Protein backbone atom coordinates (compact mmCIF):
# COMPACT_ATOMS: atom_id res chain seq x y z
CA UNK A 1 0.00 0.00 0.00
CA UNK A 2 1.31 3.44 -0.92
CA UNK A 3 1.10 6.24 1.62
CA UNK A 4 0.00 8.88 -0.87
CA UNK A 5 -1.42 8.48 -4.37
CA UNK A 6 -1.59 11.57 -6.57
CA UNK A 7 -3.83 11.86 -9.62
CA UNK A 8 -3.74 14.65 -12.17
CA UNK A 9 -6.31 17.18 -13.29
CA UNK A 10 -10.04 16.60 -12.82
CA UNK A 11 -12.88 18.57 -14.41
CA UNK A 12 -16.47 17.60 -15.16
CA UNK A 13 -19.38 19.96 -15.89
CA UNK A 14 -21.85 17.06 -15.73
CA UNK A 15 -24.20 16.15 -12.87
CA UNK A 16 -23.17 12.54 -13.51
CA UNK A 17 -19.42 12.42 -14.18
CA UNK A 18 -17.95 9.86 -16.58
CA UNK A 19 -17.18 6.53 -14.96
CA UNK A 20 -13.92 5.39 -13.41
CA UNK A 21 -13.13 1.70 -13.95
CA UNK A 22 -12.99 -0.71 -11.04
CA UNK A 23 -9.26 -1.36 -11.50
CA UNK A 24 -8.52 2.35 -11.13
CA UNK A 25 -10.83 2.67 -8.13
CA UNK A 26 -9.09 -0.27 -6.49
CA UNK A 27 -5.67 1.41 -6.73
CA UNK A 28 -7.05 4.66 -5.40
CA UNK A 29 -8.80 3.02 -2.47
CA UNK A 30 -5.74 0.96 -1.56
CA UNK A 31 -3.73 4.11 -0.90
CA UNK A 32 -3.75 5.49 2.62
CA UNK A 33 -4.48 8.96 1.23
CA UNK A 34 -5.52 9.54 -2.40
CA UNK A 35 -5.19 13.08 -3.79
CA UNK A 36 -6.54 14.57 -7.04
CA UNK A 37 -6.26 18.06 -8.51
CA UNK A 38 -9.67 19.75 -8.55
CA UNK A 39 -9.12 21.87 -11.64
CA UNK A 40 -12.29 23.97 -11.51
CA UNK A 41 -14.56 25.35 -8.78
CA UNK A 42 -17.58 23.35 -7.62
CA UNK A 43 -20.40 25.79 -8.17
CA UNK A 44 -23.58 26.58 -10.08
CA UNK A 45 -23.12 30.34 -10.05
CA UNK A 46 -23.24 32.02 -13.45
CA UNK A 47 -20.59 34.53 -12.43
CA UNK A 48 -17.30 34.29 -14.36
CA UNK A 49 -14.21 36.43 -14.03
CA UNK A 50 -12.79 38.14 -17.09
CA UNK A 51 -9.58 36.37 -18.06
CA UNK A 52 -7.63 35.02 -20.98
CA UNK A 53 -8.49 31.43 -21.81
CA UNK A 54 -11.63 29.54 -20.84
CA UNK A 55 -13.43 30.07 -17.53
CA UNK A 56 -14.75 26.68 -16.40
CA UNK A 57 -16.67 25.26 -13.45
CA UNK A 58 -17.29 21.69 -12.33
CA UNK A 59 -20.75 20.50 -11.34
CA UNK A 60 -21.12 20.44 -7.54
CA UNK A 61 -21.96 16.73 -7.76
CA UNK A 62 -18.32 16.17 -8.76
CA UNK A 63 -17.33 16.28 -5.08
CA UNK A 64 -19.44 13.22 -4.29
CA UNK A 65 -18.12 11.53 -7.44
CA UNK A 66 -14.51 12.01 -6.37
CA UNK A 67 -15.28 10.77 -2.87
CA UNK A 68 -17.04 7.71 -4.29
CA UNK A 69 -14.04 6.95 -6.51
CA UNK A 70 -11.90 6.86 -3.39
CA UNK A 71 -10.20 10.24 -3.14
CA UNK A 72 -9.87 11.80 0.30
CA UNK A 73 -8.03 15.01 -0.63
CA UNK A 74 -8.18 17.58 -3.43
CA UNK A 75 -5.50 20.09 -4.29
CA UNK A 76 -7.07 23.38 -5.28
CA UNK A 77 -4.18 25.68 -6.20
CA UNK A 78 -4.51 25.83 -9.98
CA UNK A 79 -5.24 28.33 -12.76
CA UNK A 80 -9.03 27.75 -12.86
CA UNK A 81 -10.12 27.54 -9.23
CA UNK A 82 -11.07 31.26 -9.15
CA UNK A 83 -12.85 31.23 -12.55
CA UNK A 84 -16.23 31.79 -10.83
CA UNK A 85 -14.85 34.43 -8.49
CA UNK A 86 -14.90 34.24 -4.73
CA UNK A 87 -18.48 32.97 -4.64
CA UNK A 88 -17.23 29.95 -6.59
CA UNK A 89 -14.34 29.62 -4.17
CA UNK A 90 -16.68 29.60 -1.18
CA UNK A 91 -18.97 27.10 -2.91
CA UNK A 92 -15.97 24.87 -3.54
CA UNK A 93 -14.93 24.84 0.10
CA UNK A 94 -18.49 24.12 1.19
CA UNK A 95 -18.91 21.37 -1.40
CA UNK A 96 -15.69 19.67 -0.36
CA UNK A 97 -16.69 19.87 3.28
CA UNK A 98 -20.10 18.28 2.60
CA UNK A 99 -18.51 15.46 0.59
CA UNK A 100 -15.85 14.78 3.22
CA UNK A 101 -12.97 15.90 1.00
CA UNK A 102 -10.02 17.66 2.62
CA UNK A 103 -8.32 20.34 0.52
CA UNK A 104 -5.00 22.11 0.22
CA UNK A 105 -4.27 25.13 -1.93
CA UNK A 106 -6.94 27.74 -1.19
CA UNK A 107 -5.86 30.58 1.07
CA UNK A 108 -8.71 32.06 3.11
CA UNK A 109 -7.89 35.18 5.08
CA UNK A 110 -11.04 35.47 7.21
CA UNK A 111 -10.38 34.05 10.65
CA UNK A 112 -12.27 30.86 11.36
CA UNK A 113 -12.99 30.01 7.71
CA UNK A 114 -12.21 26.55 6.38
CA UNK A 115 -9.39 26.57 3.89
CA UNK A 116 -5.63 26.65 4.09
CA UNK A 117 -2.65 26.56 1.82
CA UNK A 118 -1.43 23.35 3.39
CA UNK A 119 -2.83 20.14 4.84
CA UNK A 120 -1.45 17.73 7.43
CA UNK A 121 -2.29 14.03 7.09
CA UNK A 122 -1.54 11.22 9.55
CA UNK A 123 0.42 8.17 8.37
CA UNK A 124 0.16 4.61 9.62
CA UNK A 125 3.63 4.72 11.18
CA UNK A 126 2.50 7.52 13.49
CA UNK A 127 4.20 10.31 11.56
CA UNK A 128 2.55 13.20 9.72
CA UNK A 129 2.92 14.37 6.13
CA UNK A 130 2.24 17.96 5.12
CA UNK A 131 0.99 18.71 1.62
CA UNK A 132 1.94 22.16 0.33
CA UNK A 133 -0.13 23.11 -2.74
CA UNK A 134 0.84 25.99 -5.05
CA UNK A 135 0.09 27.25 -8.55
CA UNK A 136 1.84 29.66 -10.85
CA UNK A 137 0.47 33.19 -11.07
CA UNK A 138 -2.39 33.21 -13.50
CA UNK A 139 -5.97 34.27 -12.84
CA UNK A 140 -6.53 32.35 -9.61
CA UNK A 141 -3.86 34.09 -7.53
CA UNK A 142 -4.77 37.53 -6.20
CA UNK A 143 -5.07 39.50 -2.98
CA UNK A 144 -7.51 38.13 -0.44
CA UNK A 145 -9.11 34.70 -0.72
CA UNK A 146 -7.54 32.87 -3.64
CA UNK A 147 -5.26 30.04 -4.61
CA UNK A 148 -1.79 29.97 -3.06
CA UNK A 149 0.67 31.45 -5.56
CA UNK A 150 3.97 29.86 -6.42
CA UNK A 151 7.13 31.20 -4.82
CA UNK A 152 10.20 29.04 -4.43
CA UNK A 153 11.17 31.10 -1.39
CA UNK A 154 7.79 30.59 0.28
CA UNK A 155 7.82 26.91 -0.66
CA UNK A 156 11.30 26.45 0.79
CA UNK A 157 10.21 28.14 4.00
CA UNK A 158 7.18 25.86 4.12
CA UNK A 159 9.36 22.79 3.64
CA UNK A 160 11.82 23.87 6.33
CA UNK A 161 9.03 24.70 8.77
CA UNK A 162 7.44 21.26 8.26
CA UNK A 163 10.77 19.49 8.75
CA UNK A 164 11.48 21.47 11.94
CA UNK A 165 8.09 20.24 13.20
CA UNK A 166 9.16 16.68 12.45
CA UNK A 167 6.80 16.21 9.52
CA UNK A 168 7.33 14.71 6.11
CA UNK A 169 6.42 17.13 3.33
CA UNK A 170 5.27 16.85 -0.28
CA UNK A 171 5.17 19.92 -2.50
CA UNK A 172 2.46 19.96 -5.18
CA UNK A 173 2.80 22.55 -7.96
CA UNK A 174 0.29 23.30 -10.69
CA UNK A 175 2.54 24.87 -13.29
CA UNK A 176 4.81 24.44 -16.26
CA UNK A 177 3.97 24.76 -19.95
CA UNK A 178 1.04 22.97 -21.52
CA UNK A 179 1.92 20.11 -23.90
CA UNK A 180 5.62 20.31 -23.05
CA UNK A 181 6.77 17.18 -21.17
CA UNK A 182 9.72 18.85 -19.43
CA UNK A 183 10.07 21.70 -16.93
CA UNK A 184 11.55 24.97 -18.08
CA UNK A 185 15.20 25.01 -16.94
CA UNK A 186 14.65 27.56 -14.15
CA UNK A 187 11.72 25.59 -12.76
CA UNK A 188 13.71 22.35 -12.76
CA UNK A 189 16.38 24.05 -10.67
CA UNK A 190 13.78 25.48 -8.27
CA UNK A 191 12.20 22.08 -7.65
CA UNK A 192 15.62 20.48 -7.21
CA UNK A 193 16.36 23.17 -4.63
CA UNK A 194 13.23 22.16 -2.69
CA UNK A 195 14.54 18.60 -2.68
CA UNK A 196 17.85 19.84 -1.32
CA UNK A 197 16.25 21.80 1.54
CA UNK A 198 14.18 18.85 2.74
CA UNK A 199 11.10 18.11 0.62
CA UNK A 200 10.37 14.37 0.59
CA UNK A 201 8.71 14.46 -2.84
CA UNK A 202 7.53 16.97 -5.45
CA UNK A 203 4.52 16.45 -7.74
CA UNK A 204 3.50 18.66 -10.68
CA UNK A 205 0.47 18.88 -12.94
CA UNK A 206 -1.00 21.37 -15.47
CA UNK A 207 0.73 20.45 -18.72
CA UNK A 208 -1.91 17.80 -19.58
CA UNK A 209 0.43 14.97 -20.49
CA UNK A 210 2.55 12.31 -18.77
CA UNK A 211 5.94 13.93 -18.38
CA UNK A 212 9.45 13.61 -17.03
CA UNK A 213 10.48 12.52 -13.57
CA UNK A 214 13.78 12.14 -11.78
CA UNK A 215 15.27 11.45 -8.37
CA UNK A 216 17.34 14.39 -7.15
CA UNK A 217 19.23 14.34 -3.85
CA UNK A 218 17.33 11.14 -3.11
CA UNK A 219 13.98 12.89 -3.63
CA UNK A 220 11.49 11.91 -6.38
CA UNK A 221 10.27 14.78 -8.56
CA UNK A 222 7.41 14.16 -11.03
CA UNK A 223 7.35 17.05 -13.49
CA UNK A 224 3.85 16.37 -14.81
CA UNK A 225 1.32 13.59 -14.22
CA UNK A 226 -1.17 14.66 -16.89
CA UNK A 227 -4.95 14.52 -16.68
CA UNK A 228 -6.95 12.17 -14.52
CA UNK A 229 -10.41 12.92 -15.90
CA UNK A 230 -10.80 16.17 -17.83
CA UNK A 231 -14.19 16.12 -19.57
CA UNK A 232 -13.46 18.68 -22.26
CA UNK A 233 -12.79 17.97 -25.92
CA UNK A 234 -9.18 18.51 -26.95
CA UNK A 235 -7.28 17.54 -30.13
CA UNK A 236 -4.09 16.49 -28.32
CA UNK A 237 -3.86 12.73 -27.89
CA UNK A 238 -1.90 13.20 -24.66
CA UNK A 239 -5.01 14.83 -23.19
CA UNK A 240 -6.40 11.33 -22.65
CA UNK A 241 -3.33 10.03 -20.79
CA UNK A 242 -2.13 10.47 -17.24
CA UNK A 243 -0.18 8.95 -14.38
CA UNK A 244 -1.11 7.88 -10.89
CA UNK A 245 1.94 8.82 -8.81
CA UNK A 246 2.36 6.73 -5.68
CA UNK A 247 4.58 7.89 -2.83
CA UNK A 248 5.76 5.34 -0.28
CA UNK A 249 7.83 6.53 2.68
CA UNK A 250 10.73 4.28 3.61
CA UNK A 251 13.71 4.62 5.93
CA UNK A 252 15.90 5.62 2.99
CA UNK A 253 13.40 8.22 1.76
CA UNK A 254 10.32 8.43 -0.43
CA UNK A 255 9.84 5.99 -3.30
CA UNK A 256 7.88 6.95 -6.43
CA UNK A 257 5.77 4.55 -8.50
CA UNK A 258 4.00 5.55 -11.72
CA UNK A 259 0.88 3.85 -13.08
CA UNK A 260 -0.47 5.03 -16.47
CA UNK A 261 -4.19 5.68 -16.92
CA UNK A 262 -6.14 6.55 -20.04
CA UNK A 263 -9.53 8.11 -20.74
CA UNK A 264 -11.89 7.21 -23.56
CA UNK A 265 -13.34 9.76 -25.98
CA UNK A 266 -16.24 10.07 -23.51
CA UNK A 267 -13.72 10.44 -20.63
CA UNK A 268 -14.20 7.16 -18.78
CA UNK A 269 -10.97 6.37 -16.91
CA UNK A 270 -9.21 2.98 -16.99
CA UNK A 271 -5.73 1.62 -16.43
CA UNK A 272 -3.53 1.70 -19.50
CA UNK A 273 -2.61 -1.82 -20.57
CA UNK A 274 -0.67 -3.64 -23.23
CA UNK A 275 0.93 -1.47 -25.91
CA UNK A 276 -0.51 1.76 -24.48
CA UNK A 277 1.01 1.13 -21.05
CA UNK A 278 4.38 0.22 -22.53
CA UNK A 279 4.38 3.26 -24.84
CA UNK A 280 3.53 5.72 -22.06
CA UNK A 281 6.12 4.33 -19.66
CA UNK A 282 8.79 4.28 -22.39
CA UNK A 283 8.02 7.92 -23.22
CA UNK A 284 8.29 8.89 -19.57
CA UNK A 285 11.65 7.13 -19.28
CA UNK A 286 12.83 9.01 -22.35
CA UNK A 287 11.74 12.31 -20.82
CA UNK A 288 13.65 11.33 -17.68
CA UNK A 289 16.87 11.07 -19.68
CA UNK A 290 16.21 14.51 -21.18
CA UNK A 291 15.41 16.29 -17.93
CA UNK A 292 18.56 15.02 -16.25
CA UNK A 293 20.76 16.38 -19.06
CA UNK A 294 21.44 20.13 -18.97
CA UNK A 295 22.30 20.14 -22.68
CA UNK A 296 19.25 18.16 -23.77
CA UNK A 297 16.84 20.15 -21.59
CA UNK A 298 18.16 23.48 -22.85
CA UNK A 299 18.02 22.38 -26.49
CA UNK A 300 14.47 21.06 -26.23
CA UNK A 301 13.31 24.12 -24.30
CA UNK A 302 14.82 26.46 -26.89
CA UNK A 303 13.08 24.50 -29.65
CA UNK A 304 9.77 24.78 -27.79
CA UNK A 305 10.31 28.52 -27.28
CA UNK A 306 11.04 28.99 -30.97
CA UNK A 307 7.68 27.60 -32.00
CA UNK A 308 5.22 28.06 -29.15
CA UNK A 309 6.88 31.18 -27.76
CA UNK A 310 6.74 32.92 -31.12
CA UNK A 311 3.07 32.04 -31.54
CA UNK A 312 2.20 33.22 -28.03
CA UNK A 313 4.06 36.48 -28.55
CA UNK A 314 2.08 37.11 -31.72
CA UNK A 315 -1.21 36.57 -29.88
CA UNK A 316 -0.17 38.67 -26.90
CA UNK A 317 1.10 41.69 -28.79
CA UNK A 318 -1.05 41.71 -31.94
CA UNK A 319 1.42 44.10 -33.63
CA UNK A 320 -0.10 46.94 -35.67
CA UNK A 321 1.60 48.15 -38.86
CA UNK A 322 2.34 51.86 -39.00
CA UNK A 323 5.11 54.30 -39.85
CA UNK A 324 7.36 55.73 -37.18
CA UNK A 325 7.97 54.37 -33.69
CA UNK A 326 5.65 56.89 -32.00
CA UNK A 327 2.83 56.02 -34.35
CA UNK A 328 3.41 52.32 -33.78
CA UNK A 329 3.22 52.75 -30.01
CA UNK A 330 0.07 54.89 -30.24
CA UNK A 331 -1.53 52.42 -32.63
CA UNK A 332 -0.68 49.52 -30.33
CA UNK A 333 -2.11 51.28 -27.25
CA UNK A 334 -5.24 52.19 -29.20
CA UNK A 335 -5.57 48.60 -30.37
CA UNK A 336 -5.29 47.29 -26.83
CA UNK A 337 -7.95 49.76 -25.65
CA UNK A 338 -10.33 48.53 -28.35
CA UNK A 339 -9.54 44.86 -27.76
CA UNK A 340 -9.26 44.17 -24.01
CA UNK A 341 -9.07 40.44 -24.68
CA UNK A 342 -5.57 41.06 -26.05
CA UNK A 343 -4.68 42.97 -22.90
CA UNK A 344 -5.81 39.99 -20.82
CA UNK A 345 -3.56 37.67 -22.82
CA UNK A 346 -0.60 40.02 -22.44
CA UNK A 347 -1.26 40.35 -18.71
CA UNK A 348 -1.28 36.60 -18.27
CA UNK A 349 1.97 36.22 -20.21
CA UNK A 350 3.59 38.72 -17.88
CA UNK A 351 2.19 37.33 -14.60
CA UNK A 352 2.62 33.59 -15.21
CA UNK A 353 6.14 32.38 -14.54
CA UNK A 354 6.25 29.67 -17.19
CA UNK A 355 4.65 31.81 -19.90
CA UNK A 356 6.97 34.70 -19.07
CA UNK A 357 10.03 32.46 -19.36
CA UNK A 358 8.68 31.10 -22.64
CA UNK A 359 8.46 34.59 -24.16
CA UNK A 360 11.67 35.86 -22.56
CA UNK A 361 13.78 32.94 -23.76
CA UNK A 362 12.26 33.15 -27.24
CA UNK A 363 13.24 36.82 -27.45
CA UNK A 364 16.65 36.19 -25.92
CA UNK A 365 17.39 33.48 -28.46
CA UNK A 366 16.35 35.81 -31.27
CA UNK A 367 18.67 38.52 -29.92
CA UNK A 368 21.56 36.06 -29.60
CA UNK A 369 21.22 35.33 -33.31
CA UNK A 370 21.80 38.99 -34.15
CA UNK A 371 24.32 40.14 -31.51
CA UNK A 372 28.05 39.62 -31.92
CA UNK A 373 29.21 38.92 -28.36
CA UNK A 374 32.85 39.10 -29.41
Residue 17, Cβ neighbours under 10 Å: how many? 24
Rounded to the nearest angstrom, the gap between the alpha carbon of residue 260 and the centroid of all alpha carbons in its chain is: 17
Phi first, then psi: give them for residue 332, nearest 5 degrees.
-65, -45
How far is residue 106's CA from residue 80's CA, in Å, rounded to a whole number? 12
Show Cβ contacts of residue 155 under 8 Å, excluding neighbours closer than 6 positions: 132, 134, 171, 173, 194
How far is residue 122's CA from residue 142's CA, in Å, rounded to a whole number? 31
Query: By C-alpha distance, which of 226, 228, 204 is closest to 214?
Result: 204
How far is residue 294's CA from residue 297's CA, in Å, rounded to a whole number? 5
Query: Span 4-292: which CATH code?
Result: 3.60.21
How many residues would you count in the chain? 374
How far is residue 164's CA from residue 353's CA, in Å, rounded to a whole number? 29
Per-residue pLDDT of the chain (374 residues; tens, 9 = 90+): 899 999 999 999 999 999 999 999 999 999 999 999 999 999 999 999 999 889 999 999 999 999 999 999 999 999 999 999 999 999 999 999 999 999 999 988 764 444 457 999 999 999 999 999 999 999 999 988 999 999 999 999 999 999 999 999 999 999 999 999 999 999 999 999 999 999 999 999 999 999 999 999 999 999 999 999 999 999 999 999 999 999 999 998 999 999 999 999 999 999 999 999 999 999 999 999 999 999 999 999 999 988 887 777 776 665 444 444 555 556 655 665 666 676 787 788 778 888 888 888 878 887 766 666 56
How far is residue 328's CA from residue 318's CA, in Å, rounded to a whole number? 12
Whether 86 and 145 have beta carbons less than 8 Å apart is answered as yes
Residue 231, Cβ neighbours under 10 Å: how many? 19
Q: Give the chain's radius of gyration (CA, Å).
A: 21
Per-residue pLDDT at 328: 53
How far is residue 62's CA from residue 362's CA, in Å, rounded to a whole number? 40
Per-residue pLDDT at 12: 97
Show Cβ contacts of residue 282 under 8 Å, excluding neighbours closer than 6 positions: none
Whether 114 and 141 have beta carbons less than 8 Å apart is answered as no
Whether this prediction's pTM lies above 0.85 is answered by: yes
Provide the terminal-to-terminal Cα distance of the chain, rounded to the nearest Å: 59
Per-residue pLDDT at 60: 98
The domain segmentation of the chain, as residue ranges, is: 4-292, 296-368
Amino acid sequence: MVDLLFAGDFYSPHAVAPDVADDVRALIREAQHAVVNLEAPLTQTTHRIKKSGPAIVSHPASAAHLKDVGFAVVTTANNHILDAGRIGLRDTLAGCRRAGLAQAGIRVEAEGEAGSGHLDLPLLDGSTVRILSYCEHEWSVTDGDSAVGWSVVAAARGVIEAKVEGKRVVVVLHGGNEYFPLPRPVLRDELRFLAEVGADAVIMHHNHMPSAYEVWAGVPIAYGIGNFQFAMANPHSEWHEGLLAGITFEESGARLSLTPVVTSESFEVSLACGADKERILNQVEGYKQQVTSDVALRALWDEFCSGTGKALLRVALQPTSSRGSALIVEAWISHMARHPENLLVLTNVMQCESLRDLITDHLRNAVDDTVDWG
